[in-house]
Amino acid sequence: MKVVLIEDQNLLSSTLARALEQNPDIEIAGMSDKASDAMALCQSYNPDVVIMDVFTRDGNGIACTGQLKRTFPHIKVLIMTGVEDDRLVQAADEAGADLFVWKNLSLDDLMEFIRNAQKPYRIFPS
């Protein structure tokens, strides 16, 4: 499974990429700290999943998610944030995100969400 990672916190981004790549079925196809790079990364690598932070170095990952889903409806978008605000969940849902997680989840749980991203349902906090 090819993954594009959009995360502006360098420590989290590099740690998450290393952890994900420990799984033989996951390849980090591209990474950026800017939401605006997501479109080009998706065009270049055609990932299965984009992991998108809500707040990136250059803008709003949720707005970018709407563009991604319109252009690449087959690519699953997992939104993650450390800001627990129900308005973000609603905005991500309206933008067409496939999954939404808080950053306080475990790595094992995140891996499970990524593996299940290809299933034909969406996952959001209740």
pLDDT digits (tens, 9 = 90+) for 27-81: 999 999 999 999 999 999 999 999 999 999 988 899 999 999 999 999 999 999 9
pLDDT value of position 114: 87
Query: CB burial class (10 A; 0-12, 13-18, 19+) of residue 45?
Result: middle
Task: Look up residue 58 and give its two tokens.
Answer: 């250059």
Task: Judge whether 28 and 14 are in contact, CB under 8 Å.
Answer: no
Nearest alpha carbon to residue 6 among 72, 77, 74? 77
Q: Which residues pair with 59 in a beta bridge?
A: 56
Average pLDDT over residues 16-21: 94
pLDDT value of position 78: 95
What band does 126 get if pLDDT is binned at 50, 70 and 90?
low
Question: Percent of the chain at pLDDT above 90?
Answer: 71
- State the pTM of this model: 0.92
Domains of the chain (ranges, CATH numbers): 2-116 (3.40.50.2300)
